[in-house]
Amino acid sequence: MGAPAVSPARVGRYGSMTAVPTVSRWWSSRSAPQRIDLYTRWSFYSYLGAGLPLLALAVTGSDLEDARVAGVRSFLVGSVVTAVAAVVLASRGLAAHRTGQRIPVRTPGLALGAAAVTGALGVWGFSAGAEPAPATSWAIALPLGMVLTAGSTIWSTRQLAGPSVLVGVLAGAAAAVDGSEAVTAVVVGATIAVTVYAVVLAFRFSVWVLDVVLEMDRTRGVQLQLAVAEERLRFARDLHDVMGRNLSAIAVKSQLAGELVRRARPEAADEVADIHRIAEESLREVREVVRGYRSTDLSSELAGARSVLRAAGVACTVQGVDDAGALPEPVQAALGWVVREAVTNVLRHSRAAECGIVLTRADGEVRLTVTNDGVPGDAAGTGSGLAGLRERLAGAGGTLDAARHGDRFQLTATLPTGSAG
């Protein structure tokens, strides 16, 4: 046999290569909370890590003629150090939101210390000229403002107001020391204070949004756990209803049979036979409970699906419940499996906000359609669960279709109403 052909698209300079997932696929594979977390995190990192050095360089270029070279160089180096410290502070602050732990006091302390030293070096470097230099005020405002922005991950809006005003006061004082008029120094200080606080508030709002999204995600997980716990309680009640009555009957009849045996009465054999019958019946009913068949019709499955989805925060509508009870039991059992698998896929493999379940009967067949949104970009619509459902429905003369339409996924099961699934 010849060697299998290799697609030219998959052959490069170094031989065949597997497809590399694109950035869009990587992004779409993330859940909404993960996307918000990544966006917030990298907004902080890019602004703090690149923003401070670039702005410091811009300020330096605007007033370099009369500045002290050593002071300016030290200011630029300090800006890089402060940027690194601010990124570390933001990273640990955001991580604290997930773990609920406090970060060490030394982390913001070192960042503020680096910013203060950098600002002092900038003021010393830019205040060497005879004329007031605008860079003097920004030299102290930029590093301190960046650290306050990083601190918005751990400090509240009210706690950030005072330090923002202090940055403006220091910037105004630096302008006054550099020779600016009192009115000019006040205007500069007020402008810088408002600017710093506005930027800090913008990033603080991003942190608040992240907190809300993470809390909603945790709440949804708790709701799912409560739905599972409710189902377990229902199962426990069913098991108690089955075994409680039968075991009580077995206990009473065992005592009666024992007494009849001691008296050598022939009725003992009948009682023992009755005990055996009750035990066999109990075993059968327990198996039915475990398999989910006991007193569980399609109407109950549809109601349970709606309850579980709504508990998970998915808006669910069910149509055709009235027709479910009139279907033959084998058909209800088969469609019950479809409902369970569909609900499981919605909860596990989508970020659905809406789900619709429609049951219709026409021309001797019944059709169950489950549609949901929030399908990730790499959803293939296949899996062992769906394959098992296809086999189960095929044995009953039915079909199963699963297809994706944009961001929506539709599962359609069809069965003849007279089949014995």
Structure tokens at 202: 């913008």
Confidence at 307, pLDDT banded by 50, 70, 90:
confident
Question: Is 121 exposed, middle or buried (CB count within 10 Å of its CB: 0-12, 13-18, 19+)?
Answer: buried
d(CA 100, CA 155): 14
d(CA 405, CA 379): 11
Mean per-residue pLDDT, 401-405: 86
> Mind listing the pLDDT tens digit for each residue in 10-35?
444 444 444 445 766 676 667 777 78
How many Cα atoms are found within 13 Å in the side-chain-facing hemisphere of 225?
6
Spell out the long-range contacts of 246-253 with Cβ–Cβ below 8 A and sequence spacing 24 or more.
246/278, 246/279, 246/281, 246/282, 246/285, 247/282, 249/278, 250/275, 250/278, 250/279, 250/282, 253/278
- Please tell me the chain's helix, strand, coil percentages from 3-state DSSP, rounded to the nearest 5: 70, 10, 20
Q: Tell me, what DSSP letter sits at residue 1? A: -
- Residue ranges, comma separated, of all CATH 3.30.565.10 domains in the chain are 296-421
Looking at residue 405, its pLDDT comes to 82
Give the chain's mean pLDDT. 80
Looking at residue 379, its pLDDT comes to 55
d(CA 153, CA 44): 10
CA distances from 131 to 65, 135, 183, 208, 321 (A): 11, 12, 16, 44, 83
Superfamily of domain 296-421: Histidine kinase-like ATPase, C-terminal domain (3.30.565.10)
% of the chain residues with pLDDT over 90:
20
CA distances from 152 to 145, 194, 284, 411 (A): 11, 16, 63, 46
Range name among 33-37, 184-188, 237-241 with the lowest pLDDT average: 237-241
Looking at residue 162, its pLDDT comes to 92
Q: Is the pTM of this model over 0.75?
A: no
Considering Cα of 74, then 86, then 123, then 58, what sign does the dihedral take? positive
> Mind listing the pLDDT tens digit for each residue in 242-285?
677 677 778 878 888 888 888 888 888 888 888 888 888 888 87
> Mind listing the pLDDT tens digit for each residue in 208-227?
888 888 777 777 777 777 77
**Spatial contact of 382 and 400, defined as CB atoms under 8 Å apart:** no
> Mind listing the pLDDT tens digit for each residue in 76-124?
999 999 999 999 999 998 888 777 778 888 889 999 999 999 988 888 8
At residue 210, the 3 state secondary structure works out as helix
Candidates 90, 115, 112, 116; CA nearest to 103 is 90
Q: Over 70: is that where the pLDDT of 143 sits? A: yes
Question: In which residue are the tokens 């296809």 written?
Answer: 390
